[in-house]
Amino acid sequence: MRIPRRLLLASAALAAMLGLSAGPVAAQDNTMVLAMVTTPRGFDPDIWVPGQIESAVNVYEGLTRFGMRAGPDGRQVVDPARIEPHLAESWTVSDDGKDYVFRIRPGMLSPFGNELTSADVVWTFEKSNAQRRTGVFIRNVARIETVEAVSRYEVRFRLRDANRIFLSVLTLHIPALFDSTEAKRHATAEDPFATRWLSANTAGFGAYHVQSVQAGQQAVFVRNPGYQLGQPHFARIIWREVPSPATRVALVRSGQVHYAEQIPLQQIVDLRRDRRVRVESVAAPGSATVRMNPRVAPFDDERVRRAVAHATDYAAIGEAVFLGVGTRSRSMLNPPIPGAIDAYTFETDYDRARQLLAEAGHPNGLDLTLEYSTNWWWEEPLALQMQASLARAGIRVTPRRIPATEMTARRAINVWSLPFMTHLTSSFVPDPSYNMFLTAHSRGGSNVNGNNNAELDRLIDESIVERDDTRWTELVAQAQRVQADSATFVETFLPGTHEVFVSCIEGFVWQPHNRLVWKNLACRR
């Protein structure tokens, strides 16, 4: 149908008169607008709620940070093998590796004007201890025994065992370094660590702090005027809640926002062709896996697990699920995690799969239920692709979608009631021992499939405390091979991180926590 030209002009004039179209908001200098899935529902890094990590990494910074190096294309990338001082200016370590003394950089100010001191560090760990949430888990993983103030600017960490994870853990936003002077002003007898106040406000020493939040609408962050480690380009961050991915795409394409979060891969492929948009893709080490619970039949038989690994059509998954932009996962550790090797050697081989099934007593195949949730966009297509490819080896799979909360509950430690499931292997800390412990050790916090391999546990435990580099590299490699051979994880692809910006945005650097760091970004037209 042809729309009369006069009608179009008249409608446009009416729209302009009403001021309906306000022009690209993203054109404003020094303000960055983000289209996010949800507004932050809290800011205390110890209590996980939607949107918390995305904001906390910009508000709370660590005593240490990962070093940088030039990447293959000349751009700066994170070097997970190198830890540098950050809010601390230096540290010393005892000969037995159990005693660290950090010297805090003087003059590090919170937005409230208070200087970071050893008392803040001690208070932070006391708070995490009292809450007994995520901070305590991190503390236990890093084997931190005590934290004590030595002087105004010196703080001592005493570890139960010397370990390689400790310095990496101090790069994290959790346990966060709080401005305890400000937080204590909001403490009460019932809430001595001001957890209520800290869940709705921020008090860190990072580049930004929250100015206002309207639930379901927007949050505004402003630059911390006391931040001393570089001046961020954007003085103000407007975080708008835009739950629909299609709307987020329309907004970033039209220049109304600088950044759109969590865009589906199909859209990423399209957006790469759009000149108004910059897509930054990184082969982040998070791996899309299909996991089998070795405590539950028929997966208690290694031959069945190996049959599943051989009956998986990796090429089809790469094309149909990850649209040719994923990277094949070759181990439970993947680059840039140091020590990652190509340990996972399973390739598609239906004859071998059928042979293994027959040897395991299933000559007529198997009936399995593969459970998945909607935590990640790729779970459903992956489950369907697994159904199609496993059928060729006589394994009849029924994919079953379950709510994310059910998935989280049923894969919890010591519950392990999911025999066969999809799962993303990922962590905040690119340390091999930490990653292996978290995901594959029988006591690991993300051991969602009930891994129970005694030899693997031993190798991981040894790698955590091993101080000799050669021996440590050997242990890490051996642990990866043992895990790959046990075939409790079908390693498929690394979906990668794909961040979508308007074309003027520069400075994106992927961080191991896989969240956007605003202080690195600038708009250059």
Partner 1 sequence: MSIRGFLLRRLLVAGPVALGILFVTFMLVRIGDQDPVAMLAGPMADAPMLARIRAELMLDQPVLTQFWAYLGRLVQGDLGRSWQGNAPVTHEILAHLPATLELVTLAVGLGTLIGVPIGLYAAERPNGTFDQLSRFGSLFGFSLPTYWLGLMAIFIFFYLLDWAPAPMGRVSMLVEAPPTITGSVLLDSILTGNWAAARSAVSQLILPVGCFTIIATAPIIKHTRAIAIEVMGSDYIRYARACGFPRRVVRRIALRAALVPVITFVGSEFTSLLAAASLIEFIFAWGGLGHWGLNAILLGDFAAVQGYVLTLAVASVIIFVLVDLAVLLLEPRAQARA
Spatial CA neighbour of 449 closest among 481, 479, 422:
422
Residue 468 Cα to chain centre, angstroms: 29
Q: Which stretch binds partner 1 (CB under 8 A): 8-16, 359-367, 486-494, 513-521?
A: 8-16
Angle, in degrees to the nearest 10, between helices 469-486 and 454-465: 160
What one-character DSSP code corresponds to residue 318? I
Least Å distance, CB 244 to partner 1, is 5
Q: Are 311 and 389 in contact (CB under 8 A)?
A: yes
Of 181 and 446, the one with the shorter C-beta distance to partner 1 is 446
Which residue type, as a one-letter code, is found at position 435? N
Of 209 and 253, the one with the shorter C-beta distance to partner 1 is 253
Which residues have CB under 8 Å from 24's CB, separation 6+? Answer: 254, 255, 256
12 is a site residue for partner 1 (CB under 8 A): yes
Of 199 and 478, the one with the shorter C-beta distance to partner 1 is 199
149 is a site residue for partner 1 (CB under 8 A): no
Q: Which stretch binds partner 1 (CB under 8 A): 97-105, 333-341, 412-420, 463-471?
A: 412-420
Q: Residues 81, 229, 250, 316: which binds partner 1 (CB under 8 A)? A: 250
Least Å distance, CB 11 to partner 1, is 7
113 is a site residue for partner 1 (CB under 8 A): no
Least Å distance, CB 50 to partner 1, is 6
369 is a site residue for partner 1 (CB under 8 A): no
Residue 296: Cβ-neighbour burial (10 angstroms; 0-12, 13-18, 19+): middle
134 is a site residue for partner 1 (CB under 8 A): yes
Q: Residues 30, 92, 94, 214: which binds partner 1 (CB under 8 A)? A: 214
Q: DSSP labels for 392-419? A: TTTEEEEEEE--HHHHHHHTSTTT---S
324 is a site residue for partner 1 (CB under 8 A): no
Residue 137 CB neighbours (<10 A): 15
Residue 441 CB neighbours (<10 A): 24
10 is a site residue for partner 1 (CB under 8 A): no
Spatial CA neighbour of 287 closest among 65, 24, 489, 45:
489
Distance CA 286, CA 511 (A): 12
Distance CA 50, CA 30 (A): 26
Least Å distance, CB 49 to partner 1, is 5
Distance CA 428, CA 413 (A): 19
Residue 244: Cβ-neighbour burial (10 angstroms; 0-12, 13-18, 19+): exposed
Distance CA 402, CA 418 (A): 11
What is Dmax (Cα atoms) for the chain? 83
Spatial CA neighbour of 172 closest among 49, 44, 56:
56
Least Å distance, CB 191 to partner 1, is 14
Instruction: For residue 307, give the H/E element and its range.
Output: helix 302-310
Instruction: For residue 425, give the H/E element and its range.
Output: strand 420-425
Q: Which stretch binds partner 1 (CB under 8 A): 136-144, 289-297, 318-326, 353-361?
A: 136-144
15 is a site residue for partner 1 (CB under 8 A): yes
Structure tokens at 238: 């407007």
Least Å distance, CB 445 to partner 1, is 5
Residue 259 CB neighbours (<10 A): 25
412 is a site residue for partner 1 (CB under 8 A): yes
454 is a site residue for partner 1 (CB under 8 A): no
Residue recorded with tokens 């692709």: 385
Q: Which stretch binds partner 1 (CB under 8 A): 72-80, 115-123, 399-407, 511-519?
A: 399-407
Q: Which stretch binds partner 1 (CB under 8 A): 7-15, 105-113, 152-160, 507-515?
A: 7-15
Distance CA 420, CA 426 (A): 18
Of 15 and 150, the one with the shorter C-beta distance to partner 1 is 15
Q: Residues 1, 2, 4, 22: which binds partner 1 (CB under 8 A)? A: 22
270 is a site residue for partner 1 (CB under 8 A): no
Of 119 and 215, the one with the shorter C-beta distance to partner 1 is 215
Of 257 and 283, the one with the shorter C-beta distance to partner 1 is 257
33 is a site residue for partner 1 (CB under 8 A): yes
Q: Residues 9, 10, 11, 82: which binds partner 1 (CB under 8 A)? A: 11
514 is a site residue for partner 1 (CB under 8 A): no
Spatial CA neighbour of 96 closest among 143, 63, 141:
143
Of 114 and 425, the one with the shorter C-beta distance to partner 1 is 425
Distance CA 240, CA 32 (A): 11
404 is a site residue for partner 1 (CB under 8 A): yes
49 is a site residue for partner 1 (CB under 8 A): yes
238 is a site residue for partner 1 (CB under 8 A): yes
Name the residues that contact partner 1, by CB under 8 A: 11-12, 15, 18-22, 25, 28, 33, 35, 38, 41-42, 47-50, 132-134, 136-138, 199-200, 214-218, 238, 240-244, 246-247, 250-251, 253-254, 256-257, 402-406, 408-410, 412-414, 445-446
